[in-house]
Amino acid sequence: MVDSIDDMFDTMYEEEGIGLAANQVGIDINLFVIDISHTDDSEFPRIFINGKITSSDGESIFSEGCLSIPQVSLEVTRPERIIFKYQDVEEKWHEEEFDGLLARAIQHEIDHLNGVLIIDLVSEMQRARVNKEVKKIKKDSLAKLKQHPITKGFVL
């Protein structure tokens, strides 16, 4: 499992994300990684296993991006503070209060583990706008591919 976790951090950093759920990279386990240390010197890379939000309070609206929907960000409403129970890699249980960006990132990754994307949390109008943006991104990507076709390797 340690190799998988290291790979998850590598993927997250490569994609310039702050969090990554195991199911986003094809691993079927209740696990996610988060690193917001670039925004807060007191923070460090974190690993959360078998996590569950036991309580939440407050409300904040913040623009969120997602590695699963690149180049799209949406205003998402979430609780400002959460109490979160989880295990570490040594299988020790912790229960902590989180707020701000870390609380938001935890909620975002928990949503991924439950099959929920940020697009599922917004209004129909925002969803329609995003679908339009995604179609444009796909069209632009295909146009670039036609200009510079892949001549070696595999296309999956």
Is-catalytic flag, 109? yes
Collapsing DSSP to helix, strand or coil, 2 comes out as helix
* Residue extents of the structural domains in the chain: 2-122
User: What distance in Å separates the CA atoms of residue 81 and residue 1, rounded to the nearest whole number?
Assistant: 30
The CATH class of the 2-122 domain is: alpha beta
- Using alpha carbons, select from 66, 56, 58, 62 the residue that is nearest to residue 75: 62
Tell me the pLDDT tens digit for each residue of 6-35: 999 999 999 999 999 999 999 999 999 999
Tell me the C-alpha distance between 105 and 85, whole Å: 15
pLDDT tier, 145 (very low <50, low <70, confident <90, very high otherwise): low
- Catalytic residue (one of 59, 96, 109, 124): 109
- Specify the pLDDT at position 32: 97
Position 115 scores a pLDDT of 92
Query: Residues 79-102: what's their mean pLDDT?
Result: 97
